[in-house]
Amino acid sequence: MEIDSKHIQQLYLAYCNTHLLWEKETIYGLKQLQLPNKTSLFFLRKLERRLRLGQLAEQFAFNYMESCEALEILAENIQIQKEKHTKGELDALLLIDDQPIHLEIIYKFYVYDASLGTSEIDKWIGPNRKDSLNEKLSKLTKKQLPLLYSSDCKSTLKHLGLDNYSFKQRVLFKAQLFVPYQQEIQFEMLNQDCVCGFYIHNKQLEHFKVCEFYIPNKLDWFLEPQTDVDWLNYANFIVDAHKFIEQKQSPLFWIKTENDTLVKGFLVWW
């Protein structure tokens, strides 16, 4: 299924409007790349094939950076290989005001589970209980960013003519966060503006019997709920949603309430 340019533009704007997961402080020693807010909001890149959500987020990030006057993309998606085996990839190498930057680009969806760990960071996990925030931060600090300093990477940089640069490292980590239904969750390290909705368990579905529902495809997870979709009634939503639940997948859904308020959420299988 191809995506038309109008749809891609909608997804791109939704990406641009997603907040950084944290801003001023560093987490795990990771510092966010602060890009200017005032830049072109048109997606101009050509996509040769259909991409997964994370890959599309990278293309959106590259497009946005290309519209920043003081920024130059030196290389992107640099494969680091050893004896024909791929050891990893550097998302992007940049020049910002003549400062070389190695950038890793991340876009995630997390739900808050108070039963996990002891710290604020411990409690955010993917809706399918995979890829927790803690695990992702650990992977960035212990595997993805150190790859820049490996001997195999140095030979790749030399081949690209970039071995004389002294790169600082940054992340562009955006996320949508979802909190338990009817609970107010306060946190300090992460950006409260990333909260996009709530999540519910099966037993809480009865609270929404008079609502209408829509289950967007994965790429449309970027979007805020739209009105012009084929809404499902409660009974039909239960049937469709349980197909996901049976496979231990947590569907993202949009809800339209009695007073036409639009809300975004996950129905979790666990």
Instruction: Return averaged pLDDT per consecutive 10 residues of the chain, 270 residues in all.
Output: 85 97 95 88 92 97 95 97 90 97 98 96 97 97 97 95 97 98 94 98 96 98 98 98 97 97 98
Q: For the beta carbon of residue 125, count every other beta carbon within 10 angstroms.
A: 20
Beta carbons of 21 and 162 less than 8 angstroms apart: no
Q: Are strands 212-214 and 252-256 parallel, antiparallel or unpaired?
A: antiparallel
116 secondary structure, DSSP code: S
SS3 244: helix
pLDDT at residue 2, as a whole number: 64
| Confidence at residue 85, expressed as pLDDT on a 0 to 100 scale | 87
Look at residue 42 in the predicted model and tell me its pLDDT: 96
Distances (CA, A) of 174 to 54, 77, 117, 121, 128: 11, 18, 22, 15, 19
Q: In whole angstroms, what separates CA 179 from the centre of its chain?
A: 16
So what's the pLDDT on residue 67?
A: 94
Nearest to 135 by CA among 124, 146, 119, 147: 124
Buried b (16+ CB within 10 A) or exposed e, 137-159: beebbeebbebbeeebbeebbee
Residue type, 59: Q
Nearest to 144 by CA among 136, 152, 155: 136
Every domain of the chain and the residues it spans: 5-188, 201-267
Nearest to 115 by CA among 139, 132, 95: 132
pLDDT at 82: 86
Residue with tokens 């039963």: 115
